[in-house]
């Protein structure tokens, strides 16, 4: 039934006429279902590819040039026969930062390899190619039924997913994931080939790749060349392999051509990418929780944390390099929460959700059969949200103050399992040494980007706000006793902890662990706090999950009811880090009363924003020189360089780095952001406001060619005009 409804819905959506004025095409469509609709509808919009050229599981297609980075945190595209991949600068930011030092400040100066031997490996980096997709709804439902037959009171979905994935990849080198669609009303198996040797090849300086920084984030107009190049490597036999100097560049099965002719208003464009997560079927009760609990706590606590880090980064280049990636990640979520809350209020999302819910109730109560199945769904969801409200409030405080707070707590927690094994005498001296060596390696990586003074300030400020605002019944007894000894002054507690704990400095951790033996008893003042906090977090999460299960069960029924109530509605599965198609046109939009935004920006805007007193708006001397001499090469339009442009694609996190493709499937830009006026779109699509902000591929090429003179990359690209 889901497939049939989905096909009708997609056909309805594709029949809507798109105007250049910004009525976005809603939907992140599963490619595996495109063959169930009339594909000519998409071709009528402007795409010039056949369905098999776009997506095929039997033959090579465009989808074989698109990869999920790190499990779907970003999207990348293969752009050469030898595994060269392009994505966003902010998707590579942590790797650029990791390789940076005061001597080699790649964040400030950029990085450009000149040969394979100069490309930099990145531990933990991976890219995944989609190999196969299978509808396994019937199989999952059978396994659920078997669990109930064997006495289960509720299905263990994690076990079912793991069993299916494990069975799928047995005897081969693939990896598999099972994803639910429509709130668990259907299930699909996704099979991937994942490569873990991915090396940094080229990245512009942050003053170009992150121009505008925190201030411009989520805003239009933008003037950013948000790109980074990697290369995927394989074992000599072409199979995925861990990093080795003997590995060779991937022999690409499919790669994108780059079209340097640019885009114009009303041009058809599309994206194949890996949008991470939307919650557009969330009820009004869920939106209330986000608006009244989750976002306010996140905003105020991250604001405090960011202020500490920002000040420290401005005072020290060493701290700037250490905390660049941490600051970027925290700032992104902080500003997103602000924008999302503003939009939820402005567009009256809760009120709109309630209108739909009232329609649902009227439909559900229209006959006894429907009432029996759906009549109590919304009330059960509402009750569960009410019952978990105080717990969720506490969990959010713990998330921000403890899990995302001072790193000394995380450092201490890493010893917990090790401590248990040592003190239970379950380790031989040889096993102890092996475990210590592994721990020291992990700690060395962590402390590389750690500053004791910064972390201590975060401890003082966040923990003080934490204890003053959380309901104290949710604090661990051990911590309450300790806090009372210090009269609830987290500054005094921090003075004691950071002066006595080995975890305040790597040298102390190293010395401590290297002198352990199997008879040691591990003690440290920060470990007691960390252990009590984490024990409480686990307990609260367990309590909250009881209500989350009720909500999930209710949401599943609610979504199924929506599908059944009106199959012609524009319903489609929420994004969940699986490959999706989104399409639309190039065009500007009306941001607010009397404010109209053009669909592209130029390098002239970079110079207009240029300000040496603001790090975010400073630019390299070479870029200024190229601008002043108008040395734009073959990348200019009307005597200038177009830097970014707008499309009305339906995107979310995970789409970062996605190729913007023209009607022929050629790369014309890179998606990197959404716009401030549609920040609530993960929960409620805003058709007249939704925009996708993209780096123009001509600006990218200009930076590689004219700014960096990196012919090593240029010579590998297939550029057409």
pLDDT digits (tens, 9 = 90+) for 257-292: 999 999 999 999 999 999 999 999 999 999 999 999
Locate 194 and state its tokens.
């994942």
Asked if residues 305 and 401 have their Cβ atoms less than 8 Å apart, the reply is: no
Distance of alpha carbon 421 from alpha carbon 535, whole angstroms: 18
pLDDT confidence tier of residue 8, bands split at 50, 70 and 90: very low
pLDDT confidence tier of residue 519, bands split at 50, 70 and 90: low
pLDDT confidence tier of residue 614, bands split at 50, 70 and 90: confident
Mean pLDDT score across all residues of the chain: 93
Instruction: Could you list the beta-strand ranges (E) of 595-674.
Output: 595-597, 600-602, 642-647, 659-661, 667-674
User: For residue 25, what pLDDT is reported?
Assistant: 73
pLDDT confidence tier of residue 416, bands split at 50, 70 and 90: confident
Four-residue CA torsion sign, 695, 600, 588, 342? positive
The predicted model gives 383-408 an average pLDDT of 97
* Residue 350 backbone dihedrals phi, psi, to 5 degrees: -60, -45
Distance of alpha carbon 480 from alpha carbon 484, whole angstroms: 6
Residue 14 has pLDDT above 70, yes or no: no
Asked if residues 606 and 223 have their Cβ atoms less than 8 Å apart, the reply is: yes
In total, the chain counts a number of residues equal to 721
Q: How many CA atoms lie within 13 A of 307 on its CB side?
A: 9
Q: 316 Cβ partners below 8 Å, 6+ apart? A: none
The predicted model gives 468-490 an average pLDDT of 96
What is the share, in percent, of the chain residues with pLDDT greater than 70?
95
Nearest to 643 by CA among 719, 713, 595, 696: 696
pLDDT confidence tier of residue 520, bands split at 50, 70 and 90: low
Residue 559 has pLDDT above 90, yes or no: yes
Catalytic residue among 25, 61, 90, 105: 90
Angle at 77 between CA 110 and CA 683, to 5 degrees: 95
Asked if residues 505 and 526 have their Cβ atoms less than 8 Å apart, the reply is: no
pTM above 0.85, yes or no: yes
pLDDT confidence tier of residue 203, bands split at 50, 70 and 90: very high
Locate 337 and state its tokens.
């929460």
What is the share, in percent, of the chain residues with pLDDT greater than 90?
85
The owner of tokens 């040969």 is: 115
3-state secondary structure of 436: helix
Distance of alpha carbon 66 from alpha carbon 271, whole angstroms: 10
Catalytic residue among 64, 216, 226, 451: 226
User: For residue 41, what pLDDT is reported?
Assistant: 77
Distance of alpha carbon 157 from alpha carbon 147, whole angstroms: 10
- Give the single-character DSSP code of 475: S
Locate 610 and state its tokens.
């240029």
User: For residue 38, what pLDDT is reported?
Assistant: 64
Residue 425 has pLDDT above 80, yes or no: no
3-state secondary structure of 282: coil
* 649 belongs to the catalytic site: no
The predicted model gives 470-488 an average pLDDT of 96
Distance of alpha carbon 519 from alpha carbon 263, whole angstroms: 69
Distance of alpha carbon 25 from alpha carbon 27, whole angstroms: 6
Locate 272 and state its tokens.
């194949």
Ordered alpha helix ranges (H), 449-489: 452-469, 477-485
* 495 belongs to the catalytic site: no
Instruction: Could you list the beta-strand ranges (E) of 245-287.
Output: 248-249, 258-259, 268-273
- Give the single-character DSSP code of 59: S
Catalytic residue among 186, 577, 656, 658: 656
CATH topology of domain 2-126+196-280+574-720: Thrombin, subunit H (2.40.10)
Question: What's the distance, CA 522 to chain centroid?
Answer: 37
Minimum mean pLDDT range among 31-40, 184-193, 241-250: 31-40
User: For residue 16, what pLDDT is reported?
Assistant: 30
Nearest to 124 by CA among 198, 234, 193, 72: 198
* 226 belongs to the catalytic site: yes
The predicted model gives 475-488 an average pLDDT of 96
The predicted model gives 72-100 an average pLDDT of 98
Strands 258-259 and 719-720, sheet pairing = parallel
Q: At what angle do helices 525-565 and 349-364 cross, to 10 degrees?
A: 50
* Residue 415 backbone dihedrals phi, psi, to 5 degrees: -90, -5
* Residue 88 backbone dihedrals phi, psi, to 5 degrees: -80, 155
Asked if residues 720 and 260 have their Cβ atoms less than 8 Å apart, the reply is: yes
Nearest to 638 by CA among 224, 223, 264: 264
User: For residue 12, what pLDDT is reported?
Assistant: 34
User: For residue 37, what pLDDT is reported?
Assistant: 59
Asked if residues 526 and 497 have their Cβ atoms less than 8 Å apart, the reply is: yes
Distance of alpha carbon 105 from alpha carbon 119, whole angstroms: 16
User: For residue 24, what pLDDT is reported?
Assistant: 59
DSSP string spanning 61-119? -GGGGEEEETTTTEEEEE-STT-EEEE-TTTSHHHHHHH--SSS-HHHH-EE-SSGGGP
Residue 428 has pLDDT above 90, yes or no: no
User: For residue 432, what pLDDT is reported?
Assistant: 84
pLDDT confidence tier of residue 515, bands split at 50, 70 and 90: confident
User: For residue 387, what pLDDT is reported?
Assistant: 98
Q: 439 Cβ partners below 8 Å, 6+ apart? A: 414, 415, 418, 513
- Count other C-beta atoms under 10 Å from residue 17's C-beta: 6
The predicted model gives 294-311 an average pLDDT of 98
Residue 18 has pLDDT above 50, yes or no: no
Ordered alpha helix ranges (H), 122-193: 137-149, 157-169
Distance of alpha carbon 335 from alpha carbon 218, whole angstroms: 8
pLDDT confidence tier of residue 43, bands split at 50, 70 and 90: confident
């Amino acid at each position: 039934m889901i497939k049939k409804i989905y096909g009708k819905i997609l056909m309805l959506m594709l029949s809507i006429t798109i105007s250049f004025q910004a009525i976005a095409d809603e939907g992140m469509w599963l490619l595996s279902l495109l063959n169930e609709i009339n594909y000519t509808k998409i071709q009528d919009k402007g795409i010039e590819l056949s369905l098999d050229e776009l997506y095929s599981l039997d033959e090579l297609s465009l989808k074989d040039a698109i990869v999920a980075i790190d499990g779907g945190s970003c999207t990348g595209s293969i752009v050469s026969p030898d595994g060269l991949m392009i994505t966003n600068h902010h998707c590579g930011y942590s790797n650029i930062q990791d390789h940076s030092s005061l001597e080699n400040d790649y964040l400030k100066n950029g990085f450009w390899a000149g040969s394979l031997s100069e490309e930099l490996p990145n531990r933990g980096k991976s890219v995944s190619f989609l190999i196969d997709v299978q509808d396994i709804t019937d199989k999952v439902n059978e396994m659920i039924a078997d669990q109930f037959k064997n006495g289960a009171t509720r299905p263990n979905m994690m076990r079912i997913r793991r069993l299916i994935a494990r069975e799928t990849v047995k005897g081969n080198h693939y990896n598999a994931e099972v994803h639910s669609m429509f709130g668990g009303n259907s299930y699909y198996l996704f099979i991937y080939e994942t490569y873990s040797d991915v090396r940094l090849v080229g990245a512009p300086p942050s003053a170009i790749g992150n121009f505008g920084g925190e201030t411009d984030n989520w805003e239009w107009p933008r003037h950013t060349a948000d790109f980074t190049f990697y290369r995927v490597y394989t074992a000599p036999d072409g199979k995925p392999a861990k990093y080795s100097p003997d590995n060779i560049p991937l022999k690409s099965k499919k790669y994108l051509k780059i079209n340097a002719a640019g885009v114009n208003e009303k041009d058809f464009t599309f994206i194949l990418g890996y949008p991470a997560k939307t919650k557009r079927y969330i009820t009004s009760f869920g939106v209330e929780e986000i608006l009244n609990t989750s976002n306010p706590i996140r905003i105020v606590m991250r604001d405090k944390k960011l202020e500490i880090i920002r000040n420290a980064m401005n005072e020290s280049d060493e701290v700037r390099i250490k905390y660049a990636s941490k600051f970027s990640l925290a700032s992104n979520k902080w500003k997103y929460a602000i924008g999302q809350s503003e939009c939820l209020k402005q567009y009256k999302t809760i009120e709109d959700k309630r209108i739909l819910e009232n329609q649902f109730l009227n439909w559900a109560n229209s006959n006894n059969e429907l009432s029996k199945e759906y009549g109590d769904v919304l009330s059960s969801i509402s009750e569960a949200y009410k019952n978990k409200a105080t717990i969720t409030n506490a969990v959010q405080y713990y998330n921000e103050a403890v899990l995302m707070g001072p790193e000394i707590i995380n450092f201490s927690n890493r010893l917990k399992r090790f401590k248990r094994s040592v003190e239970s005498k379950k380790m031989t001296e040889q096993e102890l040494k092996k475990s210590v060596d592994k721990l020291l390696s992990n700690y060395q990586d962590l402390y590389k980007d750690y500053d004791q003074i910064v972390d201590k300030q975060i401890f003082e400020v966040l923990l003080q706000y934490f204890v003053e605002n959380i309901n104290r019944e949710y604090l661990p007894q051990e911590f309450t006793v300790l806090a009372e000894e210090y009269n609830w002054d987290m500054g005094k507690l921090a003075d004691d902890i950071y002066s006595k704990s080995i975890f305040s400095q790597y040298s102390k951790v190293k010395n401590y662990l290297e002198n352990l033996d199997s008879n040691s008893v591990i003690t440290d003042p920060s470990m007691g706090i960390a252990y009590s906090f984490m024990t409480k977090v686990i307990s609260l999460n367990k309590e909250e999950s009881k209500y989350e299960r009720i909500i999930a069960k209710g949401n599943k029924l609610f979504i199924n009811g929506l599908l059944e109530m009106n199959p012609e509605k524009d319903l489609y599965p929420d994004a969940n880090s699986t490959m999706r198609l989104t399409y639309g046109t190039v065009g500007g939009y009306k941001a607010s009363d009397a404010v109209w935004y053009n669909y592209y920006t130029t390098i002239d805007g970079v110079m207009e924003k240029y300000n040496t007193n603001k790090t975010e708006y400073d630019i390299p001397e070479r870029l200024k020189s190229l601008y002043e001499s108008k040395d734009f090469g073959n990348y200019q339009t009307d005597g200038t360089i177009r830097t970014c442009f707008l499309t009305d694609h339906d995107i979310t996190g995970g789409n970062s780095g996605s190729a913007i493709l023209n009607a022929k499937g050629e790369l014309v830009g890179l998606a990197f952001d959404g716009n401030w006026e549609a920040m609530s779109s993960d929960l409620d699509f805003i058709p007249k406001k939704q925009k996708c902000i993209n780096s123009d591929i001509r600006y990218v090429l200009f930076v590689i060619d004219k700014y960096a003179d990196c012919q090593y990359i240029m010579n590998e690209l297939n550029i057409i005009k």
